[in-house]
Amino acid sequence: MAVVAAMGKYTQVKTDYAIKTEQKVHDAVTSHIIVGTPGTMADYVKRKILDVSEVKVLVLDEADNMLDQENLSEQCLKIKNMLPKQHPTQIVLFSATFPDRVRTFASRFAPNANKIELKKEELSVEGIKQFYMDCKDQEAKYDVLVSLYSLLTVSQSIIFCKVSTCPCNLRKFLIVIPAPRHGRSYSEAHDCGGSQGRFSAWCKGRRRTRPNH
């Protein structure tokens, strides 16, 4: 959302979130760009908090991750069916991977759409090696990260976490590790506007070493 706000800094474009909160929302959402989760979006439309009569574009991001969560695919289709029929709405779907289940869903969500796909050999940037570590539990992931930072000179890095508590715990874990002379700073960024449970932590600095204790 910060990127959208920066791009529209000198325009009248307004943004807002449609995500589940402890306090139930009653005021109408009238922003130009609204980012939210399928369940909350559908609820807002149903309760007439969100007026979709003039919606121009409907975007579904991270479709593959959406389909991993129960009922989200049907909720997305429900939102699409709530859109006005009197004028066309552009339907856009993004997915990092396109297995058969995503293709099947895409044909329902955006039938007869123009498709832009990358070939498998184009997914990996030349000169960048990719690998994964099979970790038995959360603690093992921390150990692997410490080992990597001890072996490699990492000036800047982004660590993507799957659950909301992970960035906070990871940041605390990294902070207590003794820093080298130049030190390292950490910050965490919670992507509230994305699919539920998707968060990222931004870490930058130089190599750390594993504590003795």
Same domain, 18 and 99: yes
Give the whole-angstrom CA distance, residue 156 versus residue 207: 10
In this structure, is residue 28 part of a structural domain?
yes
**Within-domain flag for 211:** no
pLDDT at 67 exceeding the cut of 90: no
**Same domain for 115 and 28:** yes
Q: Which pLDDT value is given to residue 5?
A: 83
Domain co-membership, 8 together with 95:
yes
Is the confidence at residue 183, as pLDDT, over 70? no
Domain boundaries, position 52: 2-120
Q: What is the mean pLDDT of residues 36-62?
A: 91
Provide the pLDDT for residue 3: 83
Over residues 23-46, the pLDDT tens digits come to 778 888 899 999 998 989 999 999
- Residue 65 CA to residue 129 CA, distance in Å, equals 24
| Pair (89, 172) in one structural domain | no
131-157, pLDDT tens digit by residue? 788 888 878 888 888 787 777 776 777
* Partner residues linked to 91 by β-bridges: 58
Structure tokens at 143: 């150990």
Structure tokens at 197: 């449970």
- Claim to verify: residue 112 and residue 32 sit in the same structural domain: yes
Pick the last residue of a domain from 65, 90, 120: 120
For residues 206 and 131, what is the distance between their CA atoms, to the nearest angstrom? 21
Which residue do the tokens 């080298």 mark? 180
Q: Taking the alpha carbons of 79, 62, 141, 203 in that order, is the dihedral positive or negative? A: negative
Q: Are residues 29 and 82 in the same domain?
A: yes
Cα angle 185, 189, 192 (rounded to 5 degrees) comes to 170
- pTM (2 d.p.): 0.60
pLDDT at 177: 54
Single residue among 97, 120, 143 that ends a domain in this structure:
120
